[in-house]
Every structure is written in structure tokens, then in C-alpha cells.
Structure 1
Amino acid sequence: MPGDLTIRWTRRSRALSADSWGAVEVPMAEELEAYEVVILDGVTVKRVLSTTTTSAVYTGAQQTADWGAPLGPGDTLDIRIFQLSALAGRGAPKTVTLLF
């Protein structure tokens, strides 16, 4: 759909020796794969997207509800991606700023 933003990332390992957000795919150490993508406005959480794959869709409708219009050229978006674990809960986040 126009305005939809697909956010993609590479899964990382919970093992300390493999704890990296690099491009190498690591073995899955969890029974289930689950993530939360936190959409931020400064320190304020605007929205949390939950997914069981290494991508999440931030729809144009969600962006309009959060920001008044879909994001476009010149806009930025701060996000945190958390891998969820039945044993450890939310892992350490990867925080990034997306530029449009």
C-alpha cells in the first residue's frame, strides 16, 4: 500500500560470542522467533510493532495516526528493535535512525 514502510533487519544471536547486528545469519537459539519494533518520538514511544519475522510493516495509516501524514523525503524515524526471549525477555535493543 502507498506509504507503507517495511523495516528489515538481520537476526542476531543471544550468545555473547555472536552478539552482533552484522550481516551474518546466526543459528536460532530460541524456541520461537519474536521481535518488537519500537517507534520513537524522542524518548516517547509512539507505537510498538510486533512480528515473528525479521521485518515489520509500519503502515501509511499508522504513520498518519502517529505523525499526521506518511513519512517522506527529509523525515527521520528513530526505532529500537528488540529480540524477545522466553527466558531472557527483551534483549538489548538495536537503535537506529532511518532517513527518508
Structure 2
Amino acid sequence: MNLSTSDRGPISNGAINISWTRRGRIDADSWLAAEIPMGEEREAYRIEIRKDGRLIRSADVENTSWIYTKAQRLSDFDSLDAEIDFSVAMISAVVGPGRHARKIISQSI
């Protein structure tokens, strides 16, 4: 998964938009299609936020982005300047969450 973050744009005001590009697990090797096949019953992802290696927030979403709000950040870290360790995994109906893509970001995104 290719992860990206932004604290700019229409959301802003302390929120961070976390987004990613979906990968395929089944029949995803062709470069011919504009988008790879889903290969799952539904599109679902697990986002995890960690502090000092400990899981402090988890969210399941059905699209390729999630907004980490200012209120959530303040609740989790007591500061908007804290380093954020987050990961995203696709959730399979058969095996659950797959391998996580991970990124650590600082306030200077």
C-alpha cells in the first residue's frame, strides 16, 4: 500500500487526512486495467494509531482514506506536535486484517 498524509486542504484545522492506494491480493498482476480487481467480498481497512509501540486507537473504514481529527489527536497525544505512528491493513472476510503498511509522521508533514 502507498500511504500519504496531508494537513492541508478543506479539512485542515489540526486534522490529518490519511489516504492510501489499494493493493490486490487476487488476480492483481495485470497492468491492462485502470483499476485492479477487488478480490474480496467488500472493501475494508483497519487503521491503527500507536504511541510508544502501544495501540491507542483503531478504526475500520470502507474506503481508502480516513480523517484523524484534531480532537482525536489531542485525546491520543495531548498535543498536535506529537509524532504519529499509524498503519493501515486491508481486511479480508476470510483471514481478517492482512499485513500493515506503516508510516511515522511528524508535525511537519
- TM-score bin (small chain): 0.7 to 0.9
2:90–2:98 contact (8 Å) kept in structure 1:
yes
| Aligned length in residues | 92
Q: Kindly provide the CA deviation profile for residues 24-73 of structure 1, in whole angstroms up to 9, marking residues without a partner as x.
A: 842211111111110011210111122100001111000000111234xx
Any gaps of 5 or more consecutive residues in structure 2?
Answer: 1-10
Q: Equivalents in 2 of 1:48, 1:16: separation in Å?
A: 29
TM-score scaled to structure 1, two decimals?
0.80
- Is 1:52 matched with 2:62? yes
The letter for the 2-side match of 1:35 is Y
Deviating above 6 A after TM superposition, structure 1's stretches of 4 or more consecutive aligned residues are: none
**Residue 89 (structure 1) aligned with residue 96 (structure 2):** yes
Give RMSD over aligned pairs.
Answer: 2.0
Which amino acid is 1:15 matched to?
Answer: I
Q: 1:5 aligns with which of 9, 16, 34?
A: 16
Q: Which amino acid aligns with 2:17?
A: T
Q: Could you tell me how far apart the structure 2 residues matched to 1:17 and 1:92 are?
A: 16
Identify unmatched segments of 5+ residues in structure 1.
19-23
1:1-100 matches, cutoff 5 A: 2-15=13-26, 18=29, 25-71=35-81, 75-99=82-106, 100=108
Larger Rg over CA atoms: 2
TM-score (norm 2): 0.74
Identical-pair percentage = 32
